[in-house]
Every structure is written in C-alpha cells, then in structure tokens.
C-alpha cells in the first residue's frame, strides 16, 4: 500500500514538473504584451480567430518548409503573430536561408517574414 502511494506521488510530481516546464516558455518574451482583461483574456491576439489564423499560418509554413527537398528545415522554428512570420534557428547555407524566406512568403495569409536564421554548417 505504501509503495503504491509512493509511485502515485512520484508520478504526479513528475507530471507536474513536466507541465511546468512546458508552460514556462509560453510566458517568456511577452514583456511588451498588454495585460489580460475581462474583455480580452488572451492579449497576444485580438480575437480567437486571429490566434487560430496565426496557428494555421505557422502550420502551413512548417509544412511548406518540410516539402522543400533542397532545404534542411529540421532546425528552423516558426512563429506567427498577426500574419507576421518569424523564422529562427539555423540552416547550413545562405542559399537555404533565403529559400526559407521565399517559401514562407509564398504561404497564404503571411503579411511579412522576419528571417532571424543563422547560417551554421553542421
């Protein structure tokens, strides 16, 4: 009985730590975001549809990057806010850096692309 409680407690503590580790990065980098209010509980997006639209754009950009056979997209991270796509991470060549920008610009709903990709040969 005691070992069952110990296992349950350890499992619960591990899940709690995992959840805390997952949600902690979500709050970073939002120092300029407006505070939440009763009318806008998610101040990073004006509306729910905007948040869903940004998520859809991010998904489309990631899929488009993966479809490019001449592009090493494993280390490219994509974030979208109000249609502005931000690319971070690294690629092996400047040609691939430029290609990532062009691919992202070609996705419907993208208003502009901020390319912060570094060029690092593996």
Domains, the chain, ordered by start: 47-119 (3.30.1340.30)
Cβ contact 57:32 at 8 Å = no
Q: Is the pLDDT of residue 79 over 60?
A: yes
Distances (CA, A) of 77 to 55, 80, 104, 108, 119: 13, 10, 12, 18, 14
Which strand ranges, in their side-by-side order, compose the sheet holding 76-81?
Answer: 76-81, 84-91, 112-119
Q: Which residue has the tokens 């209010």?
A: 37
The token pair that represents 114 in the structure block: 């901020």
Query: 28 versus 8: which is more confidently predicted?
Result: 8
Of the candidates 54, 35, 46, the one whose C-alpha atom is nearest the C-alpha of residue 110 is 54
Q: Is the pLDDT of residue 90 over 80?
A: yes
The token pair that represents 89 in the structure block: 């991470």
Tell me 31's DSSP state: T
Query: 110 versus 47: which is more confidently predicted?
Result: 110
Q: What is the DSSP string of 48-78?
A: HHHHHHHHHHHHHHHHHHHH-TT---TTEEE
Q: Is the pLDDT of residue 22 over 70?
A: no
Query: 72 versus 27: which is more confidently predicted?
Result: 72
Q: Percent of the chain beyond pLDDT 90?
A: 54
pTM over 0.75: no
Average pLDDT across the chain, whole number? 78
Q: Is the pLDDT of residue 85 over 90?
A: yes
Q: Percent of the chain beyond pLDDT 70?
A: 57
Mean pLDDT calculated for residue range 17-40: 53
What is the rounded CA–CA span in Å between residue 88 and residue 79? 8
Q: Is the pLDDT of residue 111 over 60?
A: yes
Q: Which residue has the tokens 């249609």?
A: 83
């Amino acid at each position: 009985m005691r070992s069952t409680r110990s296992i349950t407690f350890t499992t619960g503590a591990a899940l709690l730590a995992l959840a805390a580790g997952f949600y902690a990065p979500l709050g970073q980098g939002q120092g300029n975001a407006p505070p939440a209010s009763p009318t806008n509980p998610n101040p990073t997006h004006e509306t729910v549809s905007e948040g869903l639209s940004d998520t859809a754009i991010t998904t489309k950009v990631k899929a488009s990057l993966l479809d490019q056979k001449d592009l090493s997209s494993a280390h490219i991270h994509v974030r979208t806010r109000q249609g502005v796509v931000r690319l971070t991470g690294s690629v092996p060549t400047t040609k691939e850096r430029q290609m990532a920008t062009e691919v992202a610009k070609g996705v419907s709903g993208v208003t502009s692309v901020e390319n912060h990709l570094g060029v690092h040969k593996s």
